[in-house]
Amino acid sequence: MIIVDRALRAREEEGRPIRVGMIGAGFMGQGLTNQIENSVPGMRMAAIFNRHPQRAVDVYEYAGHENVTTTASQPEFDNLVAQGKPVVGEDPFLLSRCPDIDVLIDVTGSVEFGAHVILDAFEHGKPVVLMNAEVDATIGPILRVYAKRHGQILSACDGDEPGLQMNLVRWVQGLGLTPRVVCNIKGLQDPYRNPTTQQGWAERWGQNAAMVTSFADGSKISFEQTIVANATGFTVLERGMSRGATFEGSVMDTPSMYDIDQLRELGGVVNYTVGPPLVKAYVLAEHDDPKQRHYLELYKMGDGPLYPFWIPYHLVHFETPFSIARVVLFNDELAPPLDGPVVEVCAVAKRDLKAGEILDEYGMYTTYGEAVGVAEMSSGRYLPEGLVEGCILTRDIGRDEVLTYSDVKLPKGRLADRLRAEQYRHFRGETWLEELLAANGDTVQLASAQLASASAS
């Protein structure tokens, strides 16, 4: 980012680096820490939390640090951060409540845990950058309501697919065109993959097999495109989008996949495909000025009415520091929803499931996620993929069948369930989820009330 690099250099020269607190220390957190500590002036990784503290220590050491301190004491933690010494917190709230940390970044991929940390960060005056598409796609709209109440920002990140696509959307809009399609490109799609089938690939790259599975089975890309849909107001042509349809032609030929009149009627759609090659994401856009269409044809952008704009790669943790700086220095939020959810991610059975089974989380053995319009999601009472973990099946479910709330017994006491119920009421005026939670003996209260109780304890 052209402006961001100079602003960061200025912070470096002033001796006022942006102090980042990172929640999670997995594969991406490791890469991000190394990038910030060794390649980004004006920013430092001030502290890390991970449920296994030694992993966070390992991440600091990977980035070249020695003598990393681990602590559960808030005063000791705050003192170490103030001195600029690398510190691992044994509690995530040490980071959200530290006065010398400027911003949190969540790289966990957890919806329930992420919700607690995000709200606590807002309560203590901190913006949050997400490398956690799952929480953003599941309860992002209502979390941003809480962010605004506290004068904070909840942002997607540069480098990851939602941020990459929304940067491209904003750039295309800046050229004066109207985006109609935002498409994410995959190299593989198989909804029945699981951690066993993906173990070899995960080990080769040092990644988590469940996360790799979520890439392969379509869950991750469904979360990502949901974020883009909610940030643009676009919808999906059908549940599951293209379900990984293969497109082997040139990116210049992608407009042939769509009906322009249908796109105009819908406003726009999000999608994903396997291919075209050498493309990571594209935007198809139209221009209402015939004079400008003449120039676009001259510039070899095709003959319209849809013109393709694309990016060949996404560099994830290399680019993520840009969004951290955009949030802290410019209050620039990346990929915020325009309003309430337009698209959500429902849970679909990955295999035949039996009553009494306890569902595992996304990227595992029991379910995969598909993006679906919110009207269908709500009317069908579909179970969200981001909240499947721990649900107990009350009936047999066939493979590829969408799971609904009536098919499961929910775990009690989850903040994310309450937030999602509040999201439906706040944006859609619907109370059915609140009523369902209450009928199951799970008292519905505003997340702010639960947060206040947790802060006091």
Distance between CA 193 and CA 216 in Å, rounded? 6
Distance between CA 279 and CA 293 in Å, rounded? 24
Calculate the average pLDDT of the chain: 95
Six token digits for residue 306: 């849809």
Distance between CA 260 and CA 360 in Å, rounded? 40
Predicted pLDDT of residue 299: 97
Q: What is the pLDDT of residues 252-299, one digit of tens each?
A: 999 999 999 999 999 999 999 999 999 999 999 999 999 999 999 999
Check pLDDT > 60 for residue 193: yes
Distance of CA 18 to the CA centre of its chain: 22
Distance between CA 416 and CA 113 in Å, rounded? 9
What stretches of 336-431 show up as alpha helix (H) in DSSP? 374-379, 415-428
Q: Please list the residues that pair with 47 across neighbouring strands.
A: 21, 87
Full strand arrangement of the beta sheet holding 307-311: 269-274, 178-186, 281-286, 307-311
> Where does 2-160+318-330 sit in CATH, by number?
3.40.50.720
Average pLDDT over every residue of 343-347: 98
- For residue 276, the tally of other CB atoms under 10 A from its CB is 20
Average pLDDT over every residue of 144-161: 97
Dihedral of alpha carbons 143, 144, 145, 151, sign: positive
Predicted pLDDT of residue 1: 62
Q: What percent of the chain has pLDDT over 90?
A: 92
What is the b/e burial string over 116-142, where b = at least 16 CB atoms within 10 angstroms of the residue's CB?
bbbbbbbbbebbbbbbbbbbbbbbbbb
Distance of CA 43 to the CA centre of its chain: 23
Q: What is the pLDDT of residues 58-73, one digit of tens each?
A: 999 999 999 999 999 9
**Domain range 343-444, CATH architecture:** Alpha-Beta Complex (3.90)
Say what the pTM is: 0.95
Q: What is the pLDDT of residues 424-452, one digit of tens each?
A: 999 999 999 999 999 988 765 554 444 44
Distance between CA 142 and CA 421 in Å, rounded? 10
Predicted pLDDT of residue 438: 95
Check pLDDT > 50 for residue 455: no
Q: What is the pLDDT of residues 11-29, one digit of tens each?
A: 999 999 999 999 999 999 9
The residue with greater pLDDT, 215 or 173, is 173
Q: Contact 227/386 with Cβ under 8 angstroms?
A: no
Distance between CA 189 and CA 184 in Å, rounded? 12
In single-letter form, the type of residue at position 253 comes to D
Q: Which H, E and C letters describe 16-84, residue by residue?
A: CCEEEEEECCCHHHHHHHHHHHHHCCCEEEEEEECCCHHHHHHHHHHCCCCCCEEECCHHHHHHHHHCC
Predicted pLDDT of residue 445: 58
Give the pLDDT band (50/70/90) at residue 304.
Answer: very high
Check pLDDT > 50 for residue 454: no
Distance between CA 36 and CA 22 in Å, rounded? 11
> Containing H/E element for 220?
helix 219-232
Q: What is the pLDDT of residues 219-236, one digit of tens each?
A: 999 999 999 999 999 999
Q: How far is CA 341 from CA 158, 203, 279, in A?
A: 21, 36, 28
Nearest to 434 by CA among 423, 449, 444: 444
Average pLDDT over every residue of 347-357: 98
The residue with greater pLDDT, 378 or 445, is 378
Concatenating the DSSP letter of every residue in 253-264 gives GGGGGS-HHHHH
Ranges of each domain in the chain: 2-160+318-330, 161-314, 343-444
Check pLDDT > 50 for residue 303: yes
